[in-house]
Structure 1
């Protein structure tokens, strides 16, 4: 019986291995590459008709309408096509969570404990996740892999989505520390009410203020520790916050309520941190204040209901345009669990229908995201000196009907757009003899 069980397990393992899609990271491309005759959306608001991009060893050399490609060079003809910078997904558990519910073995996005300052998401990043290839096929080439849980979750890292391992994937290591702001609102559990379970009566404002005092105390102690020239003992929790004080890291504060965001402004005033608000569904109410303190925003869930009953039903759609008008640096994100983040471009398309121009909406998922993540020196737009992270689309990338990605390049390497979903489509098309 034991031998039979072992045989069945081995057979299941072999079947699983054979079921893996044969998608390999692209090899480095050395030499020149020209993408010609396309409509180039630079990512900074500029559009070049019938333009050409010259790439040399993975870097963009020049972009313009009057560039001649040598006859012996590698040329990709984008005539009649739209050319874009690679999209950037700023906050995600990609590579940390494979199956959302019920399979703990595939999830590595949350650590036990409340203050996980020294936790680094990048070392748990799984480059073999099947979700990664579906994102590339939808134009997403960079992502900010982010831990969750606790008050301080740890550090995120920006990755490029065509790699053998996490070392290859890392695009900017440990770019930010993530803090989850305590809530000032108590939302009753409706299931507990129906089940007749008595919920504890607490004052959410009092609890939140106590937690915020604890957070500020941690930052003050870390500041004092880091100002000491030498230490008898190394404190990993304080050492992990060093980047916040020397400005090599940003503090990403996950908060939706205005009261929470005002506390984030206090962090700027007292500690001088570079603060980014994540979620920030009520940010439109204090947009001028965010501009004053140079606080950027990542809007997490645009395709959602309003936060409060008094908000307009289409408020999540209008918020990007309101932030744009106030001069706040903002980016769009996609945290939708069922679609697994691949609708990022279509979130931007919705924003373009509610006050943003198409180029502003594109910028919210390319250059703005790169600026917020601290990688705009090499990504986010199609400009001289930056990495050749380039998309060629059949049509408008913000439009679900015409957004068909034909080619994708990461650092000049043309990456595969194949994925498990495409392979299943071909499999059953073959089975039922469909053309």
Structure 2
């Protein structure tokens, strides 16, 4: 048993405890208390003067798939041979040896969503995982977590260059509809085949991957920057009664009422970098704040490697600079991100029974001078800075 005592606890699930305690037993949080009176037999770590929070969550990355250092050798982000690849699984491309995982961990990011890129109309299945673990299978929190779908510039640029469909936004939308209709028809055939084996269709991995989407079991992760593309995505999700979260949402601030009315969350970003393409023309730091004030659930992304994953908290600070409330910005990289990704039962806040993913910071989490000093994942000390050098390798098991 491990007890972090005397720290300022920002649990993201209740009041701030100025001098509280987090108790960890095994892989789970056992208690969060406003008092620093540890249970008998607990090993103590004094975090006086420090901030204690749940590990940060990056709600959209390509970590482990678009590897640091490597070019073609480690870039498995986009399968640009076919615009419809729902059967691709992020799990089969992730390299836990990617340096990005260690960097993110040392930046306080303990959970990420990672998956295919946006070259294809339908790119494949993303997952949620921890940034600390021996193998990707051990690190997985939720798989699949959603199906990547892209509208806008990317598919038409990639396939237009090959002189094949989609070459227009109309074709992109049509291809998406065709795939969804085919999945519905496949589901009907499977149902008929339950009672009549002769009518059972041949197994189709592409259509099979779409079944949890049309059943509403996992969301469409809709890559859309421009407002017209966002609206096209909403139109299609309304037609097929899909769950959806908007990814990037660069111009989502122009239609917050449409998103709030439908209860559709937006994973905004990344906020840093130049306007590398036309779709980013109206990018503004104000977007996440406008959405949050309108009642839209907001998370933030680095889109690693676009912005290195360890800088997630800096993006939250930029959102505050753009007008977002501090509490909303912190939620956007903790509990909101967990809820949008469907893993809030395990991560995103410090509460009894949840995974013991805890970070200790030298100062306020949105102060760019703040250092990450201690990171605990699943109850294990995954990183200890100089202030806690004496506990390295000494955690209780």
TM-score (norm 1): 0.79
1:400 CA drift (Å) = 1.6
Structure 1 residue 235 and structure 2 residue 204: aligned? Answer: yes
Deviations 1:212-232 (A, max 9, x none): 122112101211211331223
Consecutive unaligned residues of structure 1, counting only runs of 5 or more, are: 1-31, 188-198, 419-435
**How many pairs align?**
370
Work out whether residues 393 and 406 of structure 1, in 8 Å CA contact, stay in contact via their aligned partners in 2: yes
- Assess, with a 3 A threshold, how the Cα gap between structure 1 residues 339 and 295 changes in structure 2: closer, same or farther: closer
Aligned to 1:209: 170
1:338 CA drift (Å) = 6.6
Aligned to 2:332: 364
1:206 CA drift (Å) = 8.5
Distance 1:167 1:157 in 2: 11
Aligned to 1:19: none
Aligned to 2:132: 162
1:308 CA drift (Å) = 7.3
Aligned to 2:150: 180
Distance 1:279 1:80 in 2: 36
Structure 1 residue 244 and structure 2 residue 244: aligned? Answer: no
Aligned to 1:122: 91
Secondary structure of the 2:207 match is helix
Distance 1:68 1:205 in 2: 63
Work out whether residues 111 and 131 of structure 2, in 8 Å CA contact, stay in contact via their aligned partners in 1: yes
1:151 CA drift (Å) = 1.3
Structure 1 residue 75 and structure 2 residue 47: aligned? Answer: no
Aligned to 2:108: 139
Secondary structure of the 1:317 match is coil
Distance 2:381 2:185 in 1: 48
Deviations 1:272-331 (A, max 9, x none): 11111111100000001001111111112212467879977xx62111110011000111
Aligned to 2:389: none
Larger radius of gyration: 1
Distance 1:146 1:184 in 2: 16
Structure 1 residue 104 and structure 2 residue 72: aligned? Answer: yes
Q: How does 1:30-429 map to 2 (within 5 A)?
A: 32-44=1-13, 46-66=15-35, 68-99=37-68, 103-111=71-79, 112-148=81-117, 149-183=119-153, 207-228=168-189, 229=191, 230=193, 231-304=200-273, 316-335=284-303, 337=305, 340-401=308-369, 403-416=370-383
Name which of structure 1's ranges 206-215 and 233-242 shifts more when overlaid on structure 2: 206-215
- Assess, with a 3 A threshold, how the Cα gap between structure 1 residues 254 and 45 changes in structure 2: closer, same or farther: farther
RMSD: 2.6
- Assess, with a 3 A threshold, how the Cα gap between structure 1 residues 323 and 46 changes in structure 2: closer, same or farther: farther
1:353 CA drift (Å) = 2.4
Moved over 3 A (4+): 182-187, 304-312, 336-339
1:158 CA drift (Å) = 0.7
Name which of structure 1's ranges 283-292 and 48-57 shifts more when overlaid on structure 2: 48-57
1:36 CA drift (Å) = 1.0
Secondary structure of the 2:286 match is helix
- Assess, with a 3 A threshold, how the Cα gap between structure 1 residues 110 and 311 changes in structure 2: closer, same or farther: closer
Distance 2:142 2:155 in 1: 35
TM-score (norm 2): 0.86
Work out whether residues 2 and 44 of structure 2, in 8 Å CA contact, stay in contact via their aligned partners in 1: yes
